[in-house]
Amino acid sequence: MRQTVTASLLMLSLAPCVHAADLPLRFNEVKEVAPGVFFRYASISATDPSVPFGGCNNIWIVCKDYVVVIDANFPMPAAEVLSAIRKTTDKPIRYVLDTHHHGDHAYGNEVWARVGAKIIASKATARLMEERGPRQFAEAKTGNDGPKYIGDSGFKTPDISFDEKYVLDDGVQRIELLHVGHMHTAGDAVAYLPKHQILCTGDACVNGAFNFMGHSNSASWIRCLEKLEGLDVKLICPGHGLPSGKELLQKQKRYFQDLRDHVDKGLKSGKDLPAITASLNLPWYKEWTGKEARQIEDNIKHVHDELQGKIKHDALGLGPDWIEGRSYCRLTPGWERPRKVVLPNLSPSRRAELSELLPGIEFCYARNQAEAERLAEGADAVIGFSVAGAAALKSLHWVQLPPGTTRITEPLRNLGISVTTTRETQSQWAHLRENLHRFARGDALLGVVD
């Protein structure tokens, strides 16, 4: 990585909302892509080593009385972005979203805090930064590129964290911050601007051969991109690369799908990793990115290790509390796909989400313990309730208890029932959603009580 090259800024005040294929921009150029919405294109290239790495793209939204910035960047580029913002507005910068915990998106937090901004991130990103951030920041600061990108700046964690959604709406601009699951990292958040049909994706979606998959869950990433495709969007502002139309989400998803399919076929035919890598041929990917997919060997190895069960995705981002354990799964003799799950009463939106995620399962919602026990007859899993008559429930294979409820786990485990729980500090909904998806496809559950 090299120092950012300063280029001239292009300001298009009162511009109409731009909806197009790749927008033609110069490095470090600023364009108003919708009224009050600005995009700064950071220098990057996957094919030309002479191009300096300028950190991440930045987006800022000018609201009625304040400014919201998407991504903190590295500290040194952040100072340049701050200067660019001041050429578009003198309103105070109130919020900055860290789309994820990587340095080129979050290490500039202190720069923004010094001008009064509050840092926002998903709970998973906040946790990653709190637990691992100080050490990783120190290593980056003392590394070869530390002076170029970090300088004398300090490390700062987010001030505000959210589970799935955090909305900023002042009547002029509406910004929906969304965490839909494990993608590039466990904590990826995107910023959706429904008024302008714009989606700011961070590294959950990039335009070019810029995917780092080392902290990713590729299967979950595909599902999350499908969910984002359901949004009313015409312009994607990616974390790296040029802004583009909604079709960029499909390209990003296709890369992961094709990569997983190729590696899976190679493994089933007995090929080793070098042979799988050498035989990868995705002409459409080279046409899109300018690079052969087989050249990105780290991504191929990551998917190879995923499909062989060598990667614990929870350990990549959600920490030691979210670990896989021995549980009822497709390796269990007699395993069958679940058909019925009893849950606490959920909001209509969450019910709809589960029905969409797992259409083959009957979800029964209980208002209290007595109703849960009545509905448990014929259920494969009971979530959020104890089950007094578990011995008589031959189909029951999984019980998820509320946080701190462990005294009844031994009798359930003696019956061969998998028991899971969570901690109060965890995202209960994210944990449940992930475990339900695992249960449906026969994968090991998270948070199993041994």
pLDDT for 8 equals 26
Looking from the CA of 191 toward its CB, the CA atoms found within 13 Å total: 28
Backbone angles phi, psi at 97, to 5 degrees: -95, 125
Tokens of 53: 């790495």
Q: In what order do the strands lie in the sheet with 165-169?
A: 165-169, 174-178, 190-193, 198-202, 235-238
pLDDT for 12 equals 27
Burial class (CB in 10 A: 0-12, 13-18, 19+), 258: middle
Sign of the CA dihedral running 239, 242, 246, 251: negative
**CATH architecture classification, 321-441:** 3-Layer(aba) Sandwich (3.40)
Say which residues have a Cβ less than 8 Å from residue 435's Cβ, sequence separation at least 6: 400, 420, 445, 446, 447
pLDDT for 78 equals 97
pLDDT for 92 equals 98
> Considering the domain 30-256 in this protein, what is its CATH number?
3.60.15.10
Q: Where are the domains of the chain?
A: 30-256, 321-441
3 state SS of 363: strand
CB 151 within 8 A of CB 76: yes
pLDDT for 10 equals 29
pLDDT for 190 equals 98
pLDDT for 4 equals 27
CB 23 within 8 A of CB 8: no
* CA-based nearest residue to 159, from 198, 196, 129: 129
Backbone angles phi, psi at 278, to 5 degrees: -65, -30
pLDDT for 432 equals 81
DSSP β-ladder status, 198-202 and 235-238: parallel
Q: How far apart are CA 206 and CA 296, in angstroms?
A: 15
CB 114 within 8 A of CB 91: no
Q: How far apart are CA 442 and CA 273, in angstroms?
A: 26
pLDDT for 15 equals 39
Task: Give per-10-residue mean pLDDT for the chain (450 aa).
Answer: 27 39 86 98 92 96 98 97 98 98 96 98 92 86 86 95 95 97 95 99 97 93 96 98 97 98 96 96 97 95 90 60 62 88 89 86 92 91 83 85 64 78 58 82 73
pTM: 0.71
Give alpha helix (H) positions in 167-217: none
pLDDT for 270 equals 96
